Every structure is written in structure tokens, then in C-alpha cells.
Structure 1
């Protein structure tokens, strides 16, 4: 078998790993961007070259044999080594250039980061931004992303970065419905419909508040993304908790109470330790950290729309 290894390419190991992960050929082919027959033919060639069966074919899918388990373990080690070398080489670039993959939630991109990214591109035109909109923690160790901009109080321990602000939340309603927002009584709030993040985000304290304090029939609208909360309040569907940097940027909305620190979350800029000295990563972290610092009081709910617009950012 040792001699047969000389004829195997990295793509062959990727194919074995893909079949093992998918437990079948169609899904493995789709993951690799090739057709089913190509995977079937190449897997057969690999097994013949190795003189060993790597998978047992069952009606429920493909199961690894002991030889297949060894090959997948080797494929995983090779993948880790190749990824590690890629990270280290990326960290040695002489100047800010190349592609930079950034992951962040859609609400942060649309309501806060977009004008900052436009200014970053003007300053560093050789850096191409590849934005990945996701609320999930992507694997920066695998280069799923180079930088993560996240609202979290518990950043992953395997990443490095900086806390740049604390995102404040408050209860908002339409200004037309609340001409004296500072004098709203609990009875008035109870009489209104509510909007809320969905139950899938039930770990958030704003969601728990609605679940515990608002009658189910008064919750008129749920959404699984922060992006649409302000639009729902602005459309008159109901009152709801939204981040202050979104609510305060809309003249048609008013706060119906002070910012509640229990609902706040830290805003982090994160990267993998191997990438922190990469010129493009370093330039991006420093630039975005400085831009967010300029608007920190707005993000933390301490100022109104005027200071944000005077600071140079374009708000929704």
C-alpha cells in the first residue's frame, strides 16, 4: 500500500473525506462540484490502487472500513497541515492586498458597517472584501473567514481580537403613536401589539422578556433576524426591542424606555492567531476598530442621530 500512496493526489484524499462525511456519493459529488459518476469512478480507481476497500456499501449509505478510517484520519491531518501553512503564508504578506473574507450578521452589515467598509476600500483598494453574512460561528481555523465581526459576550477561546463597543438595546415604537414617549405607562404598552425575535433565538433576554411578559396573542410579528425588527416597528406592526444604533438612526422611531444593559452585547473584532499579523487583516482590524471607536457612544445608546451623522457615517 505504501507504494500506491505515491500515485494519490490531495484531491483523492479530499474525495475520500467527502464520501465519508456525506455517507454517500451524490452528496459528496455535490460538495466537490463534480458529477456522481466521476466520484464513483475515481473512488474505484483509488481502492484498486491501494488494494483495499475503503467503504462498505449499505442500503443506508457508505460506511468506512478500518482501512477507510485510516485514510480519513490521514486526510484530516493533511487538511489541517495545508490549512496551517496557508494561514502562516497569509500572515507574511508584504502589504495590505488580496482577498479578505469577513463574516458578520446582516444587521451589523446593513445598519452599521457598510459605510465603514466603503471607506476602508477607498483607503486600501488592493484589498478585496468577501462578505459572509451569518449569525453562526464560522471556523476561522479552517479559513471559512479571516475576520469575524460579532455581537457576543463569549467570543471563542481559539480566536484573538478586541472588544470595541457594547451594543445597547431599548424598547422602541413609532413616534406617531407615542407623542410623549417619556410618559408612556405600562398599561399603554400592554395595549399595543409587539414584534420580537423568533423562538429559535429564545436564549436572548429580549426574547425571554416577551415570552414571559407579553400575552401570545399580542405578539403580532416574529422574525429570526435582527435586520427586520426596526422595519416592523416602523411599519406600525408593533413595539419591540431593537439595538439603539438601529432605532436611534430612524427619526420615525422613539425610545419607550431607557437602554437596558441586561440586553446589551459586546461587539468584537476577531481573527485567528496565525492571521493577526497579516497586513490585510491587521489593516482591517485597526481601521474598523478606529471607525467603531468614533461612533462608540452612538452604538452604546448614549447619543442620538445627529452625532452619528456628523461623525461621517451614513445611517439607515
Structure 2
């Protein structure tokens, strides 16, 4: 296979890898952005060039042969090396420019970051932001994103970054339901319906509290989004724990207790080690760190009676 192997281009390896991952031609074609017939024709040409069958065709899909497994293993190594070179070259850019992909949870984007990102774009107009709304851990090693903004006490060990604040959480309800929030009794709270993050987020202490201290019949609404949780409290579905930066920015909500540090989480700005010296990544991290510092009291729940980012500016 050595001589014919030299005739393969990187696109051929991508095609083989796509068919292996998708276990079929239609999904592989969609993955690499070509039509089904092109994948079929090119795969046949590759196999003829190599003099080897790479896939066994079954009713359930395409299965790799030993020769195909060897090619896919090589394709994975090439993909890793090409990505690594791309990261290193990105770190040698002369000035902040180009596309920067940032992954961030929806709640942080809406209630904290949009005006900050607008300020960044004004200062660095040559950097184009591609925002990926996600609470999941994207693979920064694969360049799924260049920067991850996450609320976590345990950032991934393979990433580098900085802790810029601690996000406070407290119990909130509607102001119209609690005209004297400072005088709410435990009996009143026990009589209320609750909202909570879903059981899939059961590792969070705020979720554990509801599981352990609230009667199941009182939990009338669960959702896997912090932003959706705040919307549910505001709609009057129930009381619930939400980040103070969300609750304090909504005039219709009131705290039913002080922030609980057990529920708090660190706010991290993270990137891959190969990208930390990239001008656009470095400029972005420095800018966000500075802006978040200006609003730290608001994020950490110390400006409980002030509303929104403008009020938090005044509190500093």
C-alpha cells in the first residue's frame, strides 16, 4: 500500500474518516459538505488506487476493514497535527484580527457579557466574534472554540486561564408575592411551589438542596437552563435559586435570603495553552478580565439592591 498511499490528499483522509464516523455515505456527505454520489465515487477511486477495500458494506451501514482502520488511525493523527500547527500559527499573529470563537452559557451572555462584547468589538474591530451558546465542555484542543467562559470550580486541567469573579446565588421569588421579603418565614417557603434545575444537573448544590429539602409535589417545574430557571421564577411558577447577577437585574424579583456561598461558582476565562499568546485571544482575555472586574460586586451579589450593569458601575 506504500506507493499508492502517496497519491492520497488530505481531503481523501477526511472523506474516509467521515464515512467511518457516520457509518454511511449520506451522513458522511453532509458532514464534509458534498453530495452522496461524490462520496461514493471518490471512495471507490481511493480503494482502487490503494488496491484495498476500506469498508465492508452491510445493511446497517459501512464497517471498517483492517486496512480501513489503519487509514482512519492515520487520519486522526494527521488531524491532530494539522490542528496543533494551526493553534501555534494563530499564536504568532502580529495584531488582534481574524475570527475568535467563544463558547459561553446563555445566562452569562444575556445578563453580563453582551455590552462587554460590544465594547470589545468597538476597541478591536478587526476581530470577528463567533459566539457559541453552550453549557457543555467543548474541545478547545480541536478548536471547537478558542475561548471558553465557564462557571465552574473545577476547570479542565488541559486548559489555561484566569478566575475573574465568583458568581453568587440566592433564593428568589416574585416581588408581588413577597412584599416584605426580609420577613419571609420558613413555613411560608415550605408552602410555596418551587422551580429547579433538572436532575441531570444533580451535582449542583442548589439542585441537591431542592432534592433533599423540598417535597417532590412542591417542585412543579424543572429545566436544564439557568436562564430558563430565572424566567420560570419571574413567571410565578415557583421560587428558586438563581445567580444574583440575573435575579438582581430583574425588578420583578426579590431575594428571599442572602447569597449562599455553598451554591456559588467561580467564573473562568479559559483557552488552550497553544493559543494563550495569540494576539486576538490575549486581547480578548485581558479586555474581559478588566470589564468583569468593574462589575465584580454585582456578580458576587454585593450590590443586591442595585439593578443591572449600569447600577453596578455606580456601586464600584
Please report the TM-score for the alignment, with normalisation by the length of structure 1.
0.96
Alpha-carbon distance in structure 2 between the residues aligned to 1:10 and 1:306: 54
Give the match for residue 33 of structure 2: 33
Q: 1:103 to 1:307 in 2, by over 3 A?
A: closer
Shift of 1:233: 1.2
Judge which range, 258-267 or 32-41, deviates more. 32-41
Give the match for residue 157 of structure 1: 157
Alpha-carbon distance in structure 2 between the residues aligned to 1:308 and 1:70: 55
Give the match for residue 309 of structure 1: 310
Alpha-carbon distance in structure 1 between the residues aligned to 2:123 and 2:21: 42
Give the match for residue 184 of structure 2: 184
Q: Are 1:5 and 2:17 an aligned pair?
A: no
Question: CA-to-partner distance for each residue in 1:152-171, whole Å, 9 max, x for gaps?
Answer: 11111111000111111100
Q: Are 1:247 and 2:247 an aligned pair?
A: yes
Give the match for residue 287 of structure 2: 287
Give the match for residue 202 of structure 1: 202
- Number of matched residues? 313
Shift of 1:60: 2.3
What are the residue-to-residue correspondences of 1:49-198 with 2, within 5 Å? Answer: 49-198=49-198
Shift of 1:312: 4.8
Contact 2:159 2:271 in 1 (8 A): yes
Q: 1:310 to 1:260 in 2, by over 3 A?
A: closer
Contact 2:29 2:35 in 1 (8 A): yes
Shift of 1:24: 1.6
Give the match for residue 48 of structure 1: 48
Give the match for residue 262 of structure 1: 262
SS of the residue 1:270 aligns to: strand
SS of the residue 1:120 aligns to: helix
Alpha-carbon distance in structure 2 between the residues aligned to 1:133 and 1:46: 38
Question: CA-to-partner distance for each residue in 1:280-305, whole Å, 9 max, x for gaps?
Answer: 00000000001111111111111132
Question: CA-to-partner distance for each residue in 1:153-196, whole Å, 9 max, x for gaps?
Answer: 11111110001111111000111111211111111001111111
SS of the residue 1:145 aligns to: coil
Long gaps (5+) in structure 2? none
SS of the residue 2:155 aligns to: coil
Structure 1 vs Structure 2 CA RMSD: 1.4
Shift of 1:306: 5.1
Contact 2:295 2:313 in 1 (8 A): no
SS of the residue 1:100 aligns to: strand
What are the residue-to-residue correspondences of 1:11-26 with 2, within 5 Å? Answer: 11-26=11-26
Shift of 1:214: 1.5
